[in-house]
Structure 1
Amino acid sequence: MYTFTAWCNSHLRKAGTAIENIDEDFRNGLKLMLLLEVISGETLPKPDRGKMRFHKIANVNKALDFIERKGVKLVSIGAEEIVDGNLKMTLGMIWTIILRFAIQDISVEEMTAKEGLLLWCQRKTAPYKNVNVQNFHLSFKDGLAFCALIHRHRPDLIDYHKLSKDNPLENLNTAFDVAEKYLDIPRMLDPDDLINTPKPDERAIMTYVSYLTNTAMPDERAVMTYVSSYYHCFSGAQKAETAANRICKVLKVNQENERLMEEYERLASDLLEWIRRTMPWLNSRQTDNSLAGVQKKLEEYRTYRRKHKPPRVEQKAKLETNFNTLQTKLRLSNRPAYMPTEGKMVSDIANAWKGLEGSEKSFEEWLLSEMMRLERLEHLAQKFKHKADIHEDWTRGKEEMLQSQDFRQCKLNELKALKKKHEAFESDLAAHQDRVEQIAAIAQELNTLEYHDSVSVNARCQRICDQWDRLGGLTQRRRAALDEAERILEKIDILHLEFAKRAAPFNNWLDGTREDLVDMFIVHTMEEIQGLIDAHNQFKATLGEADKEYNSIVSLVREVESTVQKYQVPGGLENPYTTLTAN
């Protein structure tokens, strides 16, 4: 994917743009159409600028139709897969484009593009030592084939004779840096991936090598003339040196053998000691039980694989190469085979290395499983925090509200409104019971899974549960207080209403009686006088009932006064139904 992204960007930058994620940036079809226009030099149909899915599918279909018109058959690659971000299908489409526009046009002796490119590589690298191009994967792994191709065309850029097969990382970086800086060939391959991958991606290497076919080759006749002057210069002195060289050769071979033995011992000791020091770290399973701690440990392991281990891989390869080279030289010199010090045999090193890789595998598996466990824990912890935050926001100020005595100053209608409001709060409180239970359940699960910060989780959960219990008690007490206040105010209201109903008629009777008693009557006969006397006697007969009614009305007022004084009801003496008083 890295190679294909770099290849696409090497063309898209000509249009002043680039992609970052190959499976995302081609989904709307716009940059895909632009890529095809750049590499083909042709103009595609005008793209749809809408953002709906059918606009994207239409754009991708325009690009796929263009590819098919170029004689390329697309198998199982549809616009929907590209729009949906299907990485496998997207990479397949890009590889198809590379084959058509970067490799297919290569023609060598009427062979297929791949065979022709391989033959071109073989011919160009044939004179170079340690280069044997047989394929597009393992043959390029040590980097020498890349360097040879560059040197063949631009010998001024690379000193090929200073390169070593034992330094694949250096070779690859040298080739890629030079090609990028001087030949304008983008860096499409990762040296670490080529070295550490048993079989590098053939398609990626073919894509990269295809750039080199367009590099200009210097004048061959000029090179031959220049090299022949070196031959004539050194041919006379060569005969004189041959005899001395034969004498020195034996000494040099022996010295070289001794050097190889010493280097083998040194490399073996150093490599085994490094493995011995590394194993305890790989076998350790101790963490602080936090996601950050495991992420740090995983990053340390990746740094180890990226920086610390590759030099040791090279060291092991060099050690084995030196051992085989030494044994070959000794055999050709008819000398006995070299036997390393006890514990430093090639088999001992291979066993130690195998143990190291086994520990690496188990360590990585443990790290990934621990990461998954702690990510789940962290998700639970965030879920706990989110629910707890919501609950605490909801409960803020609720205790003060429930403890308020605001209803003591209310009139009956205001109290009834407060009671309705309290009933609504009770319903809301019951609805929040489920959230409190969820918070407690999550806290219990975090404890079971041994979350690293269980202490603070438990403390917060306990505070929430304690507050919930207090809210329940306060709610019940406020409900009881509201009911009691309502009962008292309704009693006072009934007394006021009864007073108003009875006081008005009695007061009217009293006013009428007062008028009758002070009224002057003019009579002319005894019968009229006797009638007045009889009427007055009847009036006196009703005074007992009137007095009883008066006392009953006054008792209503006295009961109101007693209730108001007992329960300290503000404004309770005011009768809303009448202006009459007991006085």
Structure 2
Amino acid sequence: MRIQKVENVNKCLEFIRSRGVNLTNIGAEDIVDENLKLILGMIWTLILRFTIADISEEGLNAKEGLLLWCQRKTAPYHEVNVRDFTYSWADGLAFCALIHRHRPDLLDFDSLDKSDRHGNTQLAFDVASEHLDIPKLLDVEDVCDISKPDERSIMTYVAQYFHAFSELGKVDAAGRRVAKFAEVMESAWTMQSDYERRVKALMQAIDNKKSAWESSTFRGDYADAKRQSIEFTNYKTSLKRTWVAEKRDVDTLLGNIQTKLKTYDLKPYHPPQGLTLEDLDQFWDVLLAAEERRYRLINAKIREYGIIGVVYVDNIKEKLRQDFAKQANDFQVKVNAISHELTLLDGDLDRQLAHVRQLNTRLGPLADTLEQIQRLDDQCVEANIEENDYTIYSVDDLSFDFGLLEHAMQKKSAFISNQ
């Protein structure tokens, strides 16, 4: 009798192996002798092969592929955060979210009592069994009442949802696009790391420059004051412009991160405390205030030590200074406003692209204003005006910033079009 049982089991094992399933450390005798550990291991191997393995795609294993699918499908549900196949399912909400995402007619997710773990889990199991032909492979207690639900059991059951929705035609291309989704996730994570690294570096550089200015001294003669004035001008035309470009780039980078995540129904990225755009803007405001103090101090020293004089102020020159400063300051405010709107683009891709085009129409009048500022600057040069306490912006600064804005607009349009 035992020999006959062994022969029968061997035929079954041979058939399983013929289907490409690699069975190790188990033979017909183990099954006939009821070796529970080995039998359960073989059953899990069969489940992986015939239920879960086909979810894998282009390098992702079954577990990763199924987890990514669950994360994407439950992303719009704020109460659900699928991180694994154990604790994330213990309140039943993840099961309910999967059902509601594909078949909202079967249950009302918003009306659920989010604190009723047993009730939510039982509801999901009942609905899945009655309407989706998903067998009740688990008991509610297996999910809600143990310290750590069994990962393999949860995976096996969740895989039934994946296949059910695929067969019903209610799931989009998630299963077939897992590899693409993984690429998107990797790209988003890389962009987030790049954003945080660059913001930290920019903040540190700004802090170093501010400290250097605060510790600098004057020798007490015109030549030294003029030298420091030239150094300040060189800073504004070289290092400062590098920072302006970098700040605009990280602004755009954060916007692109959010656009990418929203396009693929993923939760938005929130930069760590101290590295938000608001934090960077505060650093930038501190830099501008330090620049203004530095600029005024240098101008005062030049007047004190040089030929400009302290008492006599030419009214015509003063009027030129004020006219130029008003136009320059207003121009910079408008450029900053458009740049801020570009960073905060929201909505679907078509809406964002339309918004970019609308912002682009505001660049023409700004270009005309820049020409007016250039003419005022020419008049200041003719009047031999070396300093202007009413603004920290030169026409070169404004032209450079305007060029960056035009370039950022083009890059944003291209990024949206390529999604």
- TM superposition score normalised by structure 1: 0.28
Larger radius of gyration: 1
- TM superposition score normalised by structure 2: 0.39
Query: Which structure has more RCO (C-alpha within 8 Å, separation ≥ 6)?
Result: 2
